[in-house]
Structure 1
Amino acid sequence: MSHNLHQQFKKLFNSEATNAYFSPGRVNLIGEHIDYNGGLVMPCAITFGTYLLVAPNTEGKFRLRSINFEEQLDIDLQTTYTKQDKFWFNYPLGVMAHFLKDGHQLQGLDMLYYGDIPIGSGLSSSASIEVVTAFALNELFKSGYSKLDLVKLSKWVENSFIGLNSGIMDQFAVAFGEAEKALMLNCDTLDYQAVDCHLGEYLLAIINTNKPRKLAESKYNERVQECQTALAALQTELDIQNLCDIDAAKFKQYEHLITDQTVKNRAQHVIEENDRVKLAAKELAAHNLLEFGKLMYASHDSLSKLYEVSGVELDTIAEYAKNAPDVAGARMTGAGFGGCAIALVKKNAFDEFTKGITEFYTGKIGYAPSVYSSLIGPGVGVYNG
Structure 2
Amino acid sequence: MDKKLIKEVKASFENQFKTKPLIVFSPGRINLIGEHTDYNDGFAFPAAIDKGIVVAISKSDSEKSSVYAFNKKEAYEFDTKTVEQLTDGAWRNYILGVISEVQKLGKQVPNFYAVFAGNIPGGAGMSSSAALENGFVFGLNELFDLGLSKNEMILISQKAEHNFVGVKCGIMDQYASMFGVKNSALFLDCRTVESKPYKIDFKSYKLMLINSNVKHDLSESAYNDRREVCEKVSNLLQVKALRDASKEDLNRIKEQISKEEYQKALFIINENLRVQQFSENIQKEDLASLGDLLYQSHEGLSKNYNVSCPELDFLVDSTKENPHILGARMMGGGFGGCTINLILESEYKTFKEEISKKFKEKFNKDCSVYSVTLSHGTQLV
User: TM-score by structure 2 length?
Assistant: 0.89
SS in 1 for 2:202: coil
One-letter code of the match for 1:58? Answer: D
Separation of aligned partners in 1, 2:101 and 2:253? 45
- Provide the residue aligned with 1:155 in structure 2: 158
- Say yes or no: does 1:176 pair with 2:175: no
- CA gap 1:261/1:82 in 2 versus in 1, 3 angstroms: closer
- Provide the residue aligned with 2:92 in structure 1: 89
Question: Of the candidates 118, 121, 127, which is equivalent to residue 121 of structure 2?
Answer: 118
- Say yes or no: does 1:338 pair with 2:336: yes
Please report how far the alpha carbon of residue 350 of structure 1 lies from its aligned counterpart in structure 2 after TM superposition.
Answer: 2.6
- Provide the residue aligned with 1:357 in structure 2: 355
Please report how far the alpha carbon of residue 116 of structure 1 lies from its aligned counterpart in structure 2 after TM superposition.
Answer: 0.5
Q: Does the CA-based 8 Å contact 2:141-2:148 persist in structure 1?
A: yes
- Provide the residue aligned with 2:254 in structure 1: 258
Separation of aligned partners in 2, 1:254 and 1:81? 44
- Provide the residue aligned with 2:294 in structure 1: 296
- CA gap 1:362/1:256 in 2 versus in 1, 3 angstroms: farther
Please report how far the alpha carbon of residue 346 of structure 1 lies from its aligned counterpart in structure 2 after TM superposition.
Answer: 3.3
Please report how far the alpha carbon of residue 134 of structure 1 lies from its aligned counterpart in structure 2 after TM superposition.
Answer: 0.7
Separation of aligned partners in 2, 1:240 and 1:167? 18
Please report how far the alpha carbon of residue 341 of structure 1 lies from its aligned counterpart in structure 2 after TM superposition.
Answer: 1.3
Please report how far the alpha carbon of residue 216 of structure 1 lies from its aligned counterpart in structure 2 after TM superposition.
Answer: 7.8
Please report how far the alpha carbon of residue 158 of structure 1 lies from its aligned counterpart in structure 2 after TM superposition.
Answer: 0.9
* Structure 2 residues not aligned, in runs of 5+: none
One-letter code of the match for 2:107? Answer: H
Q: Percent same amino acid among aligned pairs?
A: 34
- Provide the residue aligned with 2:276 in structure 1: 278
Q: How does 1:50-65 map to 2 (within 5 A)?
A: 50-65=53-68
Please report how far the alpha carbon of residue 57 of structure 1 lies from its aligned counterpart in structure 2 after TM superposition.
Answer: 4.0
Question: Of the candidates 56, 79, 82, which is equivalent to residue 81 of structure 2?
Answer: 79
- Say yes or no: does 1:5 pair with 2:9: yes
Separation of aligned partners in 1, 2:202 and 2:55? 29
- Provide the residue aligned with 2:112 in structure 1: 109
Separation of aligned partners in 1, 2:139 and 2:276? 35
- Provide the residue aligned with 1:166 in structure 2: 169
* Structure 1 residues not aligned, in runs of 5+: none
Q: Does the CA-based 8 Å contact 2:179-2:378 persist in structure 1?
A: yes
One-letter code of the match for 2:83? Answer: Y
One-letter code of the match for 1:86? Answer: G
Separation of aligned partners in 1, 2:249 and 2:216? 37
Question: Of the candidates 199, 206, 211, which is equivalent to residue 196 of structure 1?
Answer: 199
One-letter code of the match for 2:344? Answer: K
- Provide the residue aligned with 1:327 in structure 2: 325
- CA gap 1:97/1:359 in 2 versus in 1, 3 angstroms: same
Aligned length: 374
- Provide the residue aligned with 2:241 in structure 1: 242
Q: Which portions of structure 1, spanning 4 or more consecutive aligned residues, are displaced by more than 4 angstroms?
A: 228-233
- Provide the residue aligned with 1:138 in structure 2: 141
One-letter code of the match for 1:143? Answer: L
- CA gap 1:67/1:194 in 2 versus in 1, 3 angstroms: same
Question: Of the candidates 263, 267, 270, which is equivalent to residue 269 of structure 1?
Answer: 267
